[in-house]
Copies of this chain bind each other. A is one copy, B any other.
């Protein structure tokens, strides 16, 4: 890993901040930040926008990756790390491969769609042309509680 434990926790806190913004908009609370590994600067941010946009592509990671590509002026995000509160789905894991992101740090595992260890692990598949480093389950309890509490509140309202 490029960053220290303290830095990793700090960036995950920023991803959690993005997730909380999604929650305020009644979206499933998932958040993501992308960091330039050389400067430590956050160059992409995203939170889940699927419901408000009614667009299947608008996951937190995709929004952050598109913003980071704009920031660096390239589809290659080789010297960057992606922090996300939930294990990426196959679409987002594929987008991470396509953009050559160097490191992926995620919070809670996702048994329903997670594609970085839960259902499949796309990021260790050596037949793809890129394999990022992965650190799983950072702030697992906090990122998991965010989702569990959100769905508990929804069920209570029904």
Q: Which A residues form the contact surface with B (CB < 8 A)?
A: 50-51, 53-59, 62, 65-66, 69-70, 73-77, 89-95, 97-100, 112-113, 115, 119-120, 122, 125, 127-129
Contacts and interface: CB of A to CB of B under 8 A. Distances in A.
A90 B93 contact: yes
A125 B129 contact: no
B89 A75 contact: no
Contact of A73 (B54, B92, B97): B54
B98 A94 contact: no
Contacts of A100: 56
A128 B91 CA distance: 12
11 contacts: A54-B69, A55-B70, A56-B77, A56-B95, A57-B66, A57-B69, A89-B94, A90-B122, A112-B129, A113-B129, A120-B120
Contacts of A129: 112-113
B122 A120 contact: yes
Contact of A57 (B56, B93, B95): B95
Contacts of A94: 89-94, 115
A90 B122 CA distance: 8
A56 B50 contact: no
A113 B127 CA distance: 8
